[in-house]
Amino acid sequence: MVHQSAGQVNAVTLRAVLFDHDGTLVDSEPIHFLVWKEVLAAYGFALTEEQYRERYAGVPTLANACDLVQRFGVAEDPATLADAKNAATRDYLRRSAFPLLPGVREAIATLTGLGLRLAVVTGASAFGVDATLRAHGLASRFAVVVSVEDVRHSKPAPDCYLLALERLGLPAGDCLAIEDTGHGLAAAAGAGIRCLALPTAMSQHHDFTQAAAVLDGMDAAVDFVQRLCRGDRNAG
């Protein structure tokens, strides 16, 4: 169900769909919260789920570390704190991949069947995306992957999406992004890419006013894209 709209995507030239990773392709935010909670407990700080939802869901690890140090006085260098979080996440991913969100595998198959190119554009580290694509057998489905290591400024800056456009060799008007957070939406919008927002329990309070549509899940996003490809003017 479309909750709001902000213009139309050109159905004739839609050639690629660019997915965020955490919270969009995989149900990872609850795991990231638990990992952060464990890391911060070593510094005597008890991170609450409300704090994580409000400030840290969908935000790159180093930016979160900087905020935790500045806002709450966590006694650590931000880079060292981010390294500890990344190391703990790697440990998790060595044991188990993030689970795909409902409808994701079907969405990838459907959009590929429509002849659309797919990309992952994330503020997360490459190891997380690689683990997802490898564990779920999806690496061959994505033409481009852009992660936090690939850009100087991560989301909400547009750099990651601009790089994805460059690697795809496509203009922004030929692409559609799918994001679950306001930070990701801002990054896509900053690159001139229309974006569908799929809020989660962690991000439902974010500002999605720039979205082409705010939808209630991946199935609704696929339906939106299919209607665009059919030239349905009501899609946007």
- Return the active site residues: 20, 22
The answer to whether 194 and 7 have CB atoms below 8 angstroms apart is: yes
Secondary structure of residue 130 in the 3-state scheme:
helix
User: What span, in angstroms and rounded, lies between the C-alpha atoms of 123 and 149?
Assistant: 9
The answer to whether 156 and 131 have CB atoms below 8 angstroms apart is: no
If you search the block for the tokens 């050639």, which residue do you land on?
Answer: 15
User: What span, in angstroms and rounded, lies between the C-alpha atoms of 114 and 111?
Assistant: 5
The length of the chain, given as a count of residues: 236
Q: Which of 159, 93, 158, 165 is nearest to 126 (CA)?
A: 93
Q: Residue 207: enclosing H or E segment and its boundaries?
A: none
